[in-house]
């Protein structure tokens, strides 16, 4: 167990009283470096999903092995070459053209939708959850799921599927989606509890625990009263009550982390760039404070119509990805993804700059940045981008471009992650083996 | 699975069954017609829809007229295509239309007859309140307004709506947020003298134009914002505004002001603070030292501590309006702020802040507290009984049913524990209330199977359950005392009582929830905020004021048609609309002034009805141009209720569609893909619907020519062969058979009302609702009443086996 007791920086005075300026709290460097002494360094796993694909000709290096050349879109990651492995020529699962691409990202399956499944949401447990099984230990958040937009607030059909598939990368089990949270303030409160003094935070935490305890009893009582067919929903509720109870218990054991909490960000920033920055900062903070060891980050949902006007692209993301093979269209498409890679590179830089045991947080991490398709214009499932950052505690050697044979399924890469984490998952989705990385 | 219905006496459900019976007797026996016409299938359909090709995954090769009910899934889909004249395709041999219609009618009558004999009620799982319902329930239970999007994650959804029981799952994230929300709501409702000082920042989006008066603010003011803020205690608060600085924060925000502007803060309409900002002095100082100047301006725009009572107050942050000439503002576009510049020479608020409480003096009575504290203990000995009374009253409303001691035992024990820990009476009530708000009886709508009916049978839900179905349908909220009282007394399901309650509820402002949530999803108005971001250079006038006006216009039309008992057709044909000055200017309608929306006549027939609304026209456009395809798809899906299939995964390249040597129209660019056989099958039906609206640009303004000066060609041939040449002809074609649009609305409303997707077994109910409405000029209110009267709304099917949900095929968009 790790306690974080000292603060390296004074808390910023954002949102404190009337004279406050509204700005992004500087969430990085708030918590002292985790484990100055040589405690055991746990593996951290993160998966980041880029919607609408990445133009493969401007992404995949041509040279295979070490010392490969960085293509323009991946270029911002070049400073981290020593901790970077990129994989090409894999094959991502087919399925519903957009929704299927992200829904299958971490389990190789996506929606399990049969005639008999009317009224049921079903997929398969995802790899991040297999990894959480073995690495989460006593971290308060077994895993953390974040995003920047969701389909839940949008109306209209979700390509004929329940919209949750658009909002979810991570499934705890076949019927328990873990949809992303898009509000940084909510993510912050999941990490540190409600705002207030340290004492008030703890009081609230205890109140929540006793509520959960009592609600569990009441739910069980209600279940006995109603027909057994209707118990599925309440079963799930009860299960989640227990899960949150467990999480709060672990959080209580981290009283000092709660006390060290920086100021919370307010709401969802207007500016998408800020939204990305603050979300990455929270993920960094969560790793640094050992509040979670597993995250998934949905940069946008598939088919996203997110505007990137702030970097000079007038058309929304999805139309940009349908570039029609015209040079000016491809240029915009590449520019958009390059921007996302540069935001990712900032995050990687922070992991690298953060000490963790006798190394850095980057050394102890395995962060997978990828997409469910390569060329978005054709929703092409061949050779999707897959770049891994981090040393995975010595299990991943960097500076390599791995080009696989025979369109090996991306599911094989997921099996390789499980292997690195010692998670119990020998096959997933359409996997045919373990990809050698 | 489906067995005979057990129908209680005197119920409205029978009215629809009886309606079917009358209609069944009205013509020749359907089986005879079908047998006579069966050869039509071989002649016109089987060329494509055979076992080998299975075009569209459909084969009529071995279907039999005796199996229509068994193959309902296939036939219901066929009915839809045939009624719209979409099959056989235009370029294939056509049957005689009268014979075709006779055939379809016979199909419908066969299916409806079977449904009348074996009614299908369906069944929803335990139904979690969605986010909107949670917020409304809190409002109606406690009088507390919460900004739920900040408290709870979104709900996902299915079948186009976010109140679908089957997909309203829970997750650890949601649970955590329910806890957080419960504690915060209880604080806000009871008041909290121990609240820590916090700063609530209300940010004004940059695309809200602030150069004129804004709705909700006092007349004589210009720009700013008004917020309803819940003050936790009687205490001091500090209120402040912050300027938008612009040019990437290199400015102070007072540059270029010729004379000072008067900044005003008002609470519930009373001015509490004022300051002068801008003018030559401030301008000079900002040039001398930006950082120092910012601090000075910020301090000047910050009130001293102001004593305020607990509870919700409306706080306005705004500017005193000056005559336009004195503003001396250069305004190149209606929108006042472009991305980086603020050229108007006017101060612009970026954020309004409310900080506190400081120096708490207690919590005085608020309307919210009055709702909770139905008794006030005068002596300590009275406290336990009073607490019991308080929680009993709250639980009845929160759980939407009569309650007993077991229901209040948990809140009471939280109350008792808090008292034991030294908390006062208020704290105890607060603790108990927060516990109640996480109770499954509050968060879930639970309906119970009747004990005395056999498994597999449909049975009436209880009147108390019906009250909840009604209130969640019409109000997206809990029943009020009158509705619940009527239900508990046992009279709600009497048709006359039920009808009266529905009419009362529709007239109530809470029915705005039906307008907002239903149109927000059916017509996708919710997407305006996130997805309509027109290119700033091409549409420099577009701002959030206009975006909000778009939404408001469409909501007001729907509300008018619903509440004034108008025909649902008027949604497409209304020769009036609802506009304020901003919207009227956008449409070129003269003589509409101010921010208030009012009914205005539409002299231009092109503008009439939903398809002339800026909301729909902008929702179906790209950032820089119109999209006839998206518009066509929108009309197919939301007006005709026949969404096209997804495009193939690999879209053939259309590189040469755009001539390189000269400007081209969107239409020209699309011609090529309509020549491609892979695309043509759908796009021949899809594109003409969109082309007909091509004169409306990406923000819904009318043009005769494109930006390049090319004439706009709005002509096309619809799927059923009708020639159209613009919005007027399109509207005429879409309303030629009123039952089609009425069916769309009926089907969508039924999904929304039930919170489940419809199956083929539900389609006879939809047709009954439409037939009922046809007798009454297709009034929207009649459709709503018929939905309430319908069998699936008033009944549910008791299941035989655990977890054995009906395995019928699904109809999803």
In tens, the pLDDT along B754-787 reads 999 999 999 999 999 999 999 999 999 999 999 9
Whether B503 and B564 have beta carbons less than 8 Å apart is answered as no
A63 has pLDDT over 70: yes
Residue B515: pLDDT band (50, 70, 90) is very high
Rounded to a whole number, what is the distance in Å from the CA of A87 to chain B's nearest CA? 24
Residue whose pair of structure tokens reads 């999007």 in the numeric block:
B149
For helices B544-563 and B512-522, what crossing angle results, to 10°? 120
**pLDDT score, position B330:** 52
Q: How far apart are CA A154 and CA A163, in angstroms?
A: 9
Span A44-56, average pLDDT: 98
Whole-angstrom distance between the N-terminal and C-terminal Cα of chain A? 31
Q: Nearest-CA neighbor of B308 among B272, B282, B336?
A: B272
- Please state the φ and ψ torsions of residue B460, each to the nearest 5 degrees: -65, 140
**pLDDT score, position A12:** 30
Span B618-633, average pLDDT: 92
pLDDT tens for B348-364 read 898 999 999 999 999 98
Q: Which of residues 184-223 of B touch A (CB under 8 A)?
A: 184, 196-199, 201, 203, 205-206
**Nearest-CA residue of chain B relative to A272?**
B530
Degrees to nearest 5, angle at CA B183 with A178 and A171? 5
B65 has pLDDT over 50: yes
Span B550-572, average pLDDT: 97
Residue B647: pLDDT band (50, 70, 90) is confident
Whether A152 and A163 have beta carbons less than 8 Å apart is answered as yes
**pLDDT score, position A39:** 59
Of A192-206, A407-421, B289-303, the range with the lowest mean pLDDT is A192-206
Residue B249: pLDDT band (50, 70, 90) is low
Over its C-alpha atoms, chain A yields an Rg (Å, rounded) of 21
Q: How far apart are CA B753 and CA B471, in angstroms?
A: 10
Per mean pLDDT, which of A38-42, A260-264, A284-288, B610-614 is the most reliable?
Answer: B610-614
Number of neighbouring beta carbons within 10 Å of residue B405: 9
Going A254 to A258 to A264 to A268, the CA torsion angle's sign is: positive
Q: Cβ contact (<8 Å) for A152 and B522?
A: no
pLDDT tens for A158-170 read 877 888 999 999 9
Helix residue ranges per DSSP H, B533-637:
544-563, 570-573, 581-587, 614-619, 628-634
Q: How far apart are CA A334 and CA A343, in angstroms?
A: 14
B806 has pLDDT over 50: no
Instruction: Say whether residue B451 is in contact with chain A using an 8 A CB cutoff.
Output: no
pLDDT tens for A392-406 read 999 999 999 999 998
Measure Cα distances from B160 to A154, B157, B300 in Å: 9, 7, 49
Whether B391 and B416 have beta carbons less than 8 Å apart is answered as no
B240 neighbourhood in chain A, CB within 8 Å = 18
Q: Cβ contact (<8 Å) for A179 and B355?
A: no
Q: Please report, rounded to a whole number, the percentage of residues in chain B having pLDDT higher than 70.
A: 90
Q: Cβ contact (<8 Å) for A160 and B414?
A: no
Q: How far apart are CA B14 and CA B680, in angstroms?
A: 46
**pLDDT score, position A155:** 59
Q: How far apart are CA A87 and CA A403, in angstroms?
A: 6
A116 neighbourhood in chain B, CB within 8 Å = 807
Q: Which of residues 129-188 of B touch A (CB under 8 A)?
A: 149-150, 153-160, 162, 164-167, 169-177, 179-180, 182-184
Q: How far apart are CA B65 and CA B108, in angstroms?
A: 12
Across chain B, what does the average pLDDT equal? 88
pLDDT tens for A177-211 read 999 999 999 999 999 888 777 788 888 899 999 99
Helix (H, G, I), strand (E, B) or coil at B243: strand
Of A249-253, B252-256, B286-290, B413-417, the range with the lowest mean pLDDT is B252-256
Span B373-378, average pLDDT: 95
Of A91-100, B88-97, B329-338, B714-723, the range with the lowest mean pLDDT is B329-338
Residue B605: pLDDT band (50, 70, 90) is very high
Whole-angstrom distance between the N-terminal and C-terminal Cα of chain B? 25
Q: How far apart are CA A396 and CA A85, in angstroms?
A: 8
Q: How far apart are CA A335 and CA A309, in angstroms?
A: 12
Whether B680 and B642 have beta carbons less than 8 Å apart is answered as no
Which residues have C-beta within 8 Å of that of residue B45, sequence separation ≥ 6? B60, B87, B88
Number of neighbouring beta carbons within 10 Å of residue B337: 23
Q: Cβ contact (<8 Å) for B649 and A97?
A: yes
**Nearest-CA residue of chain A relative to B430?**
A207
pTM for this model (two decimals): 0.91
**pLDDT score, position B803:** 47
What are the counts of helices (DSSP H) followed by strands (DSSP E) for chain B?
A: 33, 16
Residue B809: pLDDT band (50, 70, 90) is very low
B278 has pLDDT over 50: yes
Q: How far apart are CA B171 and CA B620, in angstroms?
A: 34
| Burial classification of residue B437, based on how many CB atoms lie within 10 Å of its CB (0-12 exposed, 13-18 middle, 19 or more buried) | buried
Rounded to a whole number, what is the distance in Å from the CA of A65 to chain B's nearest CA? 32
Among the partner residues A97, A163, A181, nearest to B153 by beta-carbon distance: A181
| The token pair that represents B214 in the structure block | 């804004």
Which of B127, B173, B244, B669 to mutate to probe the A interface, most A CBs <10 Å? B173
Which residues have C-beta within 8 Å of that of residue B620, sequence separation ≥ 6? B626, B627, B630, B631, B633, B634, B690
Residue B324: pLDDT band (50, 70, 90) is low
Residue B337: pLDDT band (50, 70, 90) is low
Across chain A, what does the average pLDDT equal? 87
**pLDDT score, position B652:** 58
Span A24-51, average pLDDT: 67
**Comparison of pLDDT for B466 and B656, the residue scoring more:** B466
**pLDDT score, position B501:** 97
- Please state the φ and ψ torsions of residue B562, each to the nearest 5 degrees: -70, -50
Span A347-354, average pLDDT: 96
Helix (H, G, I), strand (E, B) or coil at B716: strand
pLDDT tens for B179-229 read 999 999 999 999 988 888 888 888 888 788 887 888 888 888 989 999 999
Residue B520 CB-half CA count within 13 A: 18
Q: Cβ contact (<8 Å) for B302 and A19?
A: yes
Q: How far apart are CA A190 and CA A122, in angstroms?
A: 26
| The token pair that represents A253 in the structure block | 């054991």
What own/partner pairs with CB < 8 Å and gap ≥ 24 does B23-31 have? Answer: B23/B109, B23/B112, B23/B771, B24/B109, B24/B112, B24/B113, B24/B116, B27/B105, B27/B109, B30/B105, B30/B106, B30/B107, B30/B109, B30/B110, B30/B113, B31/B65, B31/B106, B31/B110
Q: Cβ contact (<8 Å) for B175 and A241?
A: yes
**Comparison of pLDDT for B249 and B124, the residue scoring more:** B124
Q: Cβ contact (<8 Å) for A215 and B126?
A: no
pLDDT tens for B233-248 read 999 999 999 998 866 5
pLDDT tens for A258-315 read 777 777 787 788 789 999 999 999 999 999 989 999 999 999 999 988 889 889 998 8
A219 has pLDDT over 80: yes
Size of interface A-B (CB pairs under 8 A): 295
**pLDDT score, position B579:** 98
Residue B536: pLDDT band (50, 70, 90) is confident
Of A250-264, A362-376, B338-352, the range with the lowest mean pLDDT is B338-352
Over its C-alpha atoms, chain B yields an Rg (Å, rounded) of 30
**pLDDT score, position A161:** 85
What ipTM describes this predicted complex? 0.90
B61 has pLDDT over 70: yes
Span B452-480, average pLDDT: 95
Q: How far apart are CA B611 and CA B630, in angstroms?
A: 13
């Amino acid at each position: 167990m790790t306690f974080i007791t000292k603060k390296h920086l004074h808390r910023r005075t954002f949102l404190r009283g009337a004279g406050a300026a509204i700005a992004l709290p500087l969430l990085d460097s708030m918590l002292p470096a985790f484990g100055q002494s040589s405690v055991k360094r746990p593996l951290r796993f993160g998966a980041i999903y880029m919607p609408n694909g990445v133009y493969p000709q401007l992404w995949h290096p041509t040279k295979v092995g070490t010392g490969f050349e960085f293509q323009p879109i991946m270029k911002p990651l070049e400073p981290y070459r020593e901790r970077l492995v990129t994989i090409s020529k894999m094959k991502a699962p087919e399925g519903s053209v957009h929704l299927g691409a992200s829904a299958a990202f971490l389990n190789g399956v996506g929606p399990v939708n049969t005639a008999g499944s009317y009224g049921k949401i079903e997929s398969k447990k995802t790899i991040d959850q297999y990894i959480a099984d073995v690495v989460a230990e006593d971290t308060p958040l077994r895993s953390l799921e974040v995003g920047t937009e969701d389909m839940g607030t949008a109306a209209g059909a979700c390509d004929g599927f329940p919209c949750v598939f658009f909002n979810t990368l991570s499934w705890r089990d076949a019927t328990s989606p873990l949809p992303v949270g898009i509000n940084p303030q909510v993510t912050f409160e999941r990490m540190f509890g409600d705002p207030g003094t340290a004492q008030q935070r703890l009081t609230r935490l205890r109140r929540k625990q006793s509520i959960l305890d009592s609600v569990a009893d009441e739910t069980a009582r209600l279940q006995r009263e109603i027909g057994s067919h209707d118990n599925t929903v309440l079963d799930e509720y009860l299960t989640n009550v227990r899960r949150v109870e467990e999480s709060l218990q672990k959080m209580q054991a981290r009283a000092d982390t709660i006390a060290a909490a920086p100021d919370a960000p307010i709401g969802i920033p207007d500016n998408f760039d800020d939204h990305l920055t603050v979300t990455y900062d929270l993920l960094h903070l969560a790793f640094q404070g050992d509040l979670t060891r597993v995250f998934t980050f949905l940069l946008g949902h598939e088919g996203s119509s997110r505007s990137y006007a702030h970097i000079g692209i007038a058309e929304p993301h999805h139309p940009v990805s349908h570039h029609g093979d015209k040079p000016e269209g491809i240029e915009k498409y590449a520019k958009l993804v390059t921007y996302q890679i540069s935001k990712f590179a900032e995050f990687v830089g922070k992991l690298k700059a953060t000490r963790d045991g006798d190394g850095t947080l980057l050394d102890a991490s395995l962060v997978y940045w990828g997409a469910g398709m390569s060329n978005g214009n054709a929703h092409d499932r061949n050779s999707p981008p897959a770049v891994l950052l981090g040393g995975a505690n010595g299990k991943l050697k960097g500076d390599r471009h791995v080009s696989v044979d025979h369109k090996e399924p991306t599911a094989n890469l997921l099996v390789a992650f499980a292997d690195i984490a010692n998670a119990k998952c020998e096959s997933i989705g359409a996997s045919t083996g373990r990809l050698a990385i | 699975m489906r067995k005979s219905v057990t129908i209680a006496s005197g119920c409205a459900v029978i009215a629809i069954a009886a309606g079917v019976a009358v209609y069944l007797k009205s013509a020749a026996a359907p089986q005879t017609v079908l047998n006579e016409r069966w050869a039509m299938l071989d002649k016109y359909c089987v060329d494509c829809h055979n076992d080998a090709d299975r075009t569209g995954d459909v084969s009529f090769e071995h279907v039999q007229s005796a199996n229509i009910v068994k193959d309902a899934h296939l036939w219901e889909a066929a009915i839809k295509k045939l009624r719209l004249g979409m099959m056989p395709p235009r370029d294939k041999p056509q049957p005689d239309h009268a014979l075709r219609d006779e055939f379809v009618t016979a199909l419908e009558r066969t299916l409806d007859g079977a449904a009348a004999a074996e009614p299908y009620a369906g069944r929803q799982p335990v139904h979690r309140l969605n986010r909107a319902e949670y917020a409304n329930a809190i409002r109606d239970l406690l009088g507390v307004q919460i900004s739920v999007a900040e408290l709870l994650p979104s709900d996902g959804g299915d079948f186009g709506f976010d109140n679908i029981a089957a997909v309203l799952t829970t997750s650890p994230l949601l649970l955590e947020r329910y806890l957080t929300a419960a504690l915060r709501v209880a604080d806000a409702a009871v008041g909290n003298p121990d609240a820590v000082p916090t700063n609530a920042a209300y940010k004004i989006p940059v695309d809200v134009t602030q150069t004129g008066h804004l709705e909700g603010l006092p007349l004589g003011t210009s720009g700013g914002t008004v917020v309803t803020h819940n003050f936790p205690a009687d205490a001091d608060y500090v209120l402040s505004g912050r300027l938008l600085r612009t040019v990437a924060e290199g400015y102070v925000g007072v540059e270029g002001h010729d004379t000072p502007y008067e900044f005003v803060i008002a609470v519930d309409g009373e001015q509490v603070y004022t300051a002068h900002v801008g003018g030559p002095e401030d301008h000079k100082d900002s040039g001398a030292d930006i950082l120092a100047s910012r601090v000075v301006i910020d301090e000047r725009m910050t009130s001293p501590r102001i004593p305020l009572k607990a509870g919700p107050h409306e706080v306005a942050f705004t500017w005193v309006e000056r005559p336009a000439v004195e503003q001396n503002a250069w305004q190149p576009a209606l929108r006042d702020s472009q991305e980086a510049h603020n050229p108007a020479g006017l101060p612009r608020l970026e954020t309004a802040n409310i900080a506190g409480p400081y120096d708490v003096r207690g919590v005085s009575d608020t309307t919210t507290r009055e709702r909770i504290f139905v008794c006030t203990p005068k002596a300590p000995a009275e406290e336990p009984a009073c607490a019991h009374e308080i929680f009993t009253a709250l639980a009845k409303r929160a759980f939407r049913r009569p309650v007993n001691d077991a229901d209040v035992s948990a809140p009471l024990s939280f109350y008792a524990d808090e008292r034991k820990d030294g908390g006062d009476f208020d704290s105890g009530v607060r603790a108990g209330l927060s516990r109640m708000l996480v109770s499954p009886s509050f968060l879930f709508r639970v309906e119970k199977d009747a004990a005395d009916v056999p498994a597999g049978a449909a049975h009436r839900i209880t009147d108390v359950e019906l009250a909840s179905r009604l209130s969640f349908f019409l109000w997206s909220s809990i029943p009020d005392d009158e509705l619940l009282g009527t239900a508990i007394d046992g009279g709600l399901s009497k048709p006359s009582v039920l009808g009266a309650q529905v009419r009362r509820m529709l007239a109530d402002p809470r029915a705005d929830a039906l307008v907002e949530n239903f149109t927000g999803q059916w017509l996708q108005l919710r997407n305006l905020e996130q997805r309509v971001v027109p290119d700033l250079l091409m549409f420099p006038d577009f701002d959030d004021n206009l975006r909000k006006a778009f939404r408001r216009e469409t909501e007001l039309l729907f509300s008018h048609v619903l509440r004034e008992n108008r025909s649902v057709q008027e949604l497409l044909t209304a020769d009036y609309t609802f506009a304020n000055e901003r919207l009227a200017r956008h449409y070129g309608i003269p003589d509409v002034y101010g921010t208030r929306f009012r009914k205005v006549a539409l002299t231009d027939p092109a503008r009439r009805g939903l398809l002339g609304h800026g909301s729909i026209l902008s929702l179906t456009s790209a950032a820089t141009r119109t999209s006839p395809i998206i518009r066509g798809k929108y009309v197919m899906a939301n007006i005709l209720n026949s969404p096209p299939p997804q495009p193939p995964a690999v879209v053939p390249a259309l590189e040469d569609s755009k001539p390189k040597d000269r400007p081209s129209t969107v239409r020209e660019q699309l011609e090529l893909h309509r020549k491609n056989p892979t695309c043509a099958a759908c796009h021949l039906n899809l594109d003409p619907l969109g082309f007909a609206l091509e004169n409306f640009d990406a923000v819904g303004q009318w043009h005769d020519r494109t930006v390049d000066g090319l004439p706009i060609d709005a002509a096309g041939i619809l799927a059923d062969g009708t020639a159209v040449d613009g919005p007027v002809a399109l509207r005429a074609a879409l309303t030629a058979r009123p039952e089609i649009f009425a069916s769309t609305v009926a089907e969508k409303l039924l999904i929304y009302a039930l919170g489940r997707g419809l199956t083929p077994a539900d389609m006879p109910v939809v047709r009954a609702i439409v037939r009922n409405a046809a007798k009454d000029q297709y009034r929207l209110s009649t459709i709503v009443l018929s939905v309430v009267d319908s069998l699936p709304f008033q009944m549910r099917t008791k299941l035989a086996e655990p977890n054995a949900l009906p395995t019928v095929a699904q109809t999803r968009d």
